[in-house]
Amino acid sequence: MTCDACARHVQHALEAVPGVAYAEVPDWRAGQARVRAAGEVTDALLVGAVQEAGYRAAVRERKSLEEVPRAEEGEAVDLVVIGGGSAGFAAAIRGAELGARVVLVERGVMGGTCVNVGCVPSKALIRAVEAYHEASTHRFEGISTAAGSLHWHRVMRHKDELVAELRREKYMEVLAAYPGIRYVQGQARLRPDGTVQVDGAVFRPHRIVVATGSRPWAPPIPGLEEAGYLTSNEAVNLRELPRSLVVIGASAVGLELAQVYLRAGSQVTVLEALPRVVPLEEPEVGEALRGYLEEEGMVVRPAVRITRVERSAGRYRVAFTEAEREEQVVEAEQLLVATGRRPNTAGLGLEEAGVSLGLKGEVRVNEFAQTTNPAVYAAGDCTGDPMFVYVAAHMGTVAAENALNGNHRTVDLEVLPRITFTDPQVASAGWTEAQARERGLDVKTVVVALGHLSRARVARDVRGLIKLVADRNTDRLLGASILAAEAGEAIQTAVLAIRERYTTQELAGLIFPYLTLVEGLKLAAQAFEKDPARLSCCAG
């Protein structure tokens, strides 16, 4: 045997022998298999099965069951995947494609965070209220529109229908298309002997992929737990539109939901502990986005320290301080806490099974998505940041391949696109200016206002900017940030340019389609050498 696939083939060959109750090849490197079989199963039958599979074999030792220490019973399978979200489904599907017998375990609702309480419902609400908001925004002379009425319960019902539809189409029906995957509902727990217990059932897998996702996390603010609060899970399912809302946290989730409720008619105040909104993005982006949100009526208070939360008579009172000023209080009907997420790793028996966890409960993995237990891999949010659904799917696929075929593929997060679905959107890739400087690089940057871009001018929406970061010595593009309506549709061009090590001159020399947002990347690249105000609108 030369790899894990060989071990799996040998195992399957032995299991196919009539009278064999259990077969296992723990590690192909050892070149050994363990078999539990009825007495009438001869050495010749076992050796012949392995030879028919294309391998040499000999029976090394044979004992009666009375001589063998009794192990825990369990159904032998190739792969147990724990978690039925994006990472888990990607791992299970890849396992099935490789011919493995896969057990997919989910304790909650199939589909995980993204389709049920994350990406899909939040973006559906964003688009709904965007249409409502646009109807009352008059950018073009000679055209008059009105927002009309908003029926929140119908908006929510429409969103729920989409969630159910996508959960059925993209999870349930997809699962049915892979007969090699068995779906099991229940709570999984790893046991020190290598088995996985799911409620009353026990499985003995060749390998395990942990893909249990994450949950919203709240900081230890005095009074917060007693008062109660919404997380993003509840905010996308709120049946009554609140007249007022306080949001703690001004990163992607907090700002996206804050703008949803603002545009739907709530009075919204956002509190953020760090000095600006979207604090991990470029400062120019954060400052500009804050201004656009405030123009819509949102109250944004960065650099605050929340001192306590109280609730009485159906209203929240959130006390905070900023700089050296006295304590202030903001009141609202609802309170949303959007301060990050933590991995779902409690109660799985991970540490008892030899799987090391980090300070936030994240599963520690190497570049192959393998944990400190060589038989256990992990993927997605349970491994910590970055918690994006597309990262989870990528990791799930890599984890399954490596678990079944040996560690041959690494998790590639070298140039990762990031999008905040506010309006305007924030999209970025590569390093920010600060990150590049932290790495000791001598950098040059350029910031171009969207007003220089013809696409923005004809759309009568010049909100936004584009910032590029490049190595001053090599001219290599290191990072890109776009603040614009539909910025997410343009960022992948920057991802490819950074990944392929383009210089800004090479980017500027490409032919881009005119009157598109992505053309702004060319304009910004040209701005390293030329004043964009002195460039013709459609001349390269």
Q: State the pairing for strand pair 328-332/196-198.
A: unpaired
The set of residues, in sequence order, having a beta carbon less than 8 Å from that of 510 and lying 6+ positions away, is: 522
User: What is d(CA 440, CA 428) in angstroms, rounded to the nearest whole number?
Assistant: 21
Do residues 240 and 266 make contact, with C-beta atoms less than 8 angstroms apart? no
SS3 readout for 497-527: HHHCCCEHHHHHHCCCCCCCCCHHHHHHHHC
In 3-state terms the chain splits into helix, strand, coil percentages (rounded to 5) of 35, 25, 40
Total length of the chain: 540
Tokens at 221, concatenated:
């603010």
Tokens at 312, concatenated:
């009485």
Helix, strand, or coil here: 424?
Answer: coil
User: What is d(CA 453, CA 462) in angstroms, rounded to the nearest whole number?
Assistant: 8
Determine which helix (DSSP H) or strand (DSSP E) holds 343, and give its type and residue range: strand 341-343
Report angle CA 476, 479, 480 to the nearest 5 degrees. Answer: 120
Report angle CA 117, 123, 125 to the nearest 5 degrees. Answer: 90
User: What is d(CA 269, CA 262) in angstroms, rounded to the nearest whole number?
Assistant: 9
User: What is d(CA 184, CA 141) in angstroms, rounded to the nearest whole number?
Assistant: 59
Q: What would the DSSP string read from start to end of 80-118?
A: EEE--SHHHHHHHHHHHHTT--EEEEESS-TTHHHHHHS
Positions annotated as catalytic residues are 1, 3, 6, 55, 114, 119, 537-538
The set of residues, in sequence order, having a beta carbon less than 8 Å from that of 79 and lying 6+ positions away, is: 91, 92, 95, 100, 101, 102, 103, 205, 206, 207, 208, 209, 400, 403, 404
